[in-house]
Amino acid sequence: MQVIVHGGAGGPADEPADRQALLDEAAATGSEADDPTTAAVAALGVLEHDERFNAGVGAAVQSDGIPRTDAGLMTDDRAVGAACAMPGVRDAAEVARLVKEETPHVQVAGVHAVDLAADFGVETGVDLWTEATRERWDGMDVPAPEPTASTGEHLEWVGGRFGGGAGTAVPDSGGTGDGPHDHDTVGVVAREHDRFAAATSTGGRWAALAGRVGDVPQVGCGFYCSRAGGASTTGAGEDIARVTMARRAVAHLEMSRDAADAAELAVEELADATGSEAGIIVLDNAGGVGKAYNSDAMQTAVADDA
Ligand SMILES: NC(=O)C[C@H](N)C(=O)O
């Protein structure tokens, strides 16, 4: 099994060596699996369980003071599962797999996704807070958590951080936008011969409006897969969704470009269309590996047990 993982595109990480060791472990864990879906979920599980990443434990906190998780998963046969806006769910990629394999749907949201997880034995009610996220949250001037603050009050505050309204989701250059842990979304592409799975898991963007869902659980945006290969993205989810970034990368593979070119082109297209920053990992069906980003950093790891 060939596996590539990313730990999010953004600024340079505080402890890159520790994070790299975890990414290496995640890729190695995935590469031991028997099939690409199991590989993808196992690799993301390593990272969702670690508090350094903005996925599972350590997930970003939304404007009402609740961390919620999102994940999406797709295989080369175009089977898709995604789950989003889940409070207390660490193993979001497991829930995405459940949606793919146990339901006739492609996405389940909110409390119903949490109930589905519980019904199938995925742990719920997990405390996703860490010391670092608590500290960061406590330092933010957020309107009192609902129900005392209205959605309108939250929106006013959120608009100030993200630039407000439609248009680019790049945070205001004033500096109150994305911070050091916003880039720690995690993603994976796994390949066994000509079979693929691509998956992404996140807590989303810090202090986004309660209930906000980004690119990660949207097929073609945070993840995509076909017989040509697979891709997983990271960055400002609103902008990634506007250009369906993962789908673009895989479309390049389908037009016979290799993984390296597909990754570069997808980032260029995202930047041209939105002015935003993002990163992507890609595997193609000739064994090619692609990774590209226009942010300051994106850590990745590759493992291949062949
Ligand atoms: N850092 C990230 O990759 C965030 C993620 N794409 C989101 O917008 O939810």
In this predicted structure, the answer to whether residue 210 has a pLDDT above a threshold of 50 is yes
Instruction: Decide whether any atom of ligand 1 lies within 6 Å of the 185 Cβ.
Output: yes
ipTM: 0.97
pLDDT at 287 over 50: yes
Count CB neighbours of 288 within 10 A. Answer: 19
pLDDT single digits (tens) 28-63: 999 999 999 999 999 999 999 999 999 999 999 999
Does the structure show a pLDDT above 70 at 116?
yes
Residue 269's contacts (CB-CB under 8 Å, 6 or more residues apart) are 243, 245, 248
Ligand 1 center from residue 175 Cα (angstroms): 18
Which of 11-20, 122-131, 157-166 is the most confident on average? 122-131
What is the pairing mode between strands 223-226 and 68-75?
unpaired
Specify binding-site residues for substrate: 212-215, 234-237
**CA gap 218, 200 in Å, rounded:** 10
Q: Are 27 and 39 in contact (CB under 8 A)?
A: no
Give the residue ranges of DSSP H helices in the chain: 16-31, 36-48, 92-102, 110-119, 131-138, 151-162, 237-243, 245-254, 259-274
**Mean pLDDT for the stretch of residues 268-288:** 97
Q: Is the CB of 239 under 6 A from ligand 1?
A: no
pLDDT in tens, 131-170: 999 999 998 888 877 677 888 888 888 877 776 444 444 4
Contact 183, 171 (CB under 8 A): no
pLDDT at res. 171: 46
pLDDT at position 152 is: 85
Q: How many Cβ atoms are within 10 Å of 245's Cβ, its own excluded?
A: 32
Per-residue pLDDT at 149: 84
The pTM for the full model equals 0.94
Taking the centre of ligand 1 as the mean of its atom positions, its distance from the CA of residue 207, in whole angstroms, is 12
Q: Kindly report the CA angle at 305 between 301 and 306, in degrees rounded to 5?
A: 125
Contacts of 271 (CB under 8 A, 6+ apart): 277, 278, 294
Class of CATH domain 2-128+179-304? alpha beta
Ligand 1 nearest-atom number relative to CA 236? 8
**By alpha-carbon position, which residue is closest to atom 6 of ligand 1?**
237
In the block, residue with structure tokens 């993962």: 246
Q: Where are the domains of the chain?
A: 2-128+179-304
Q: What average pLDDT score do residues 168-189 get?
A: 60
Query: Hey, which residues are catalytic here?
Result: 185
Q: Residue 191, CB half-sphere, CA atoms under 13 Å: how many?
A: 25
**What are the tokens at 183?**
């880039």
Res. 220: pLDDT tops 90: yes
Q: How far is the CA of 306 from the centre of ligand 1 (A)?
A: 32
Helical pair 92-102 and 36-48, crossing angle rounded to 10 deg: 150
For residue 184, give the ligand 1 atom closest to its CA.
Answer: 1
pLDDT at 178: 53
Sign of CA dihedral 286, 240, 247, 2: positive
> If you measure from the C-alpha of residue 203 to the centroid of ligand 1, how many angstroms do you get, rounded to a whole number?
8
Q: Which residue has the tokens 């799975």?
A: 197
The pLDDT of 287-297, averaged and rounded, is: 96
The more confident residue out of 281 and 157 is 281
Residue closest by Cα to atom 8 of ligand 1: 237
Residue 306's pLDDT band (cuts 50, 70, 90): low
Q: What is the mean pLDDT of the chain?
A: 92
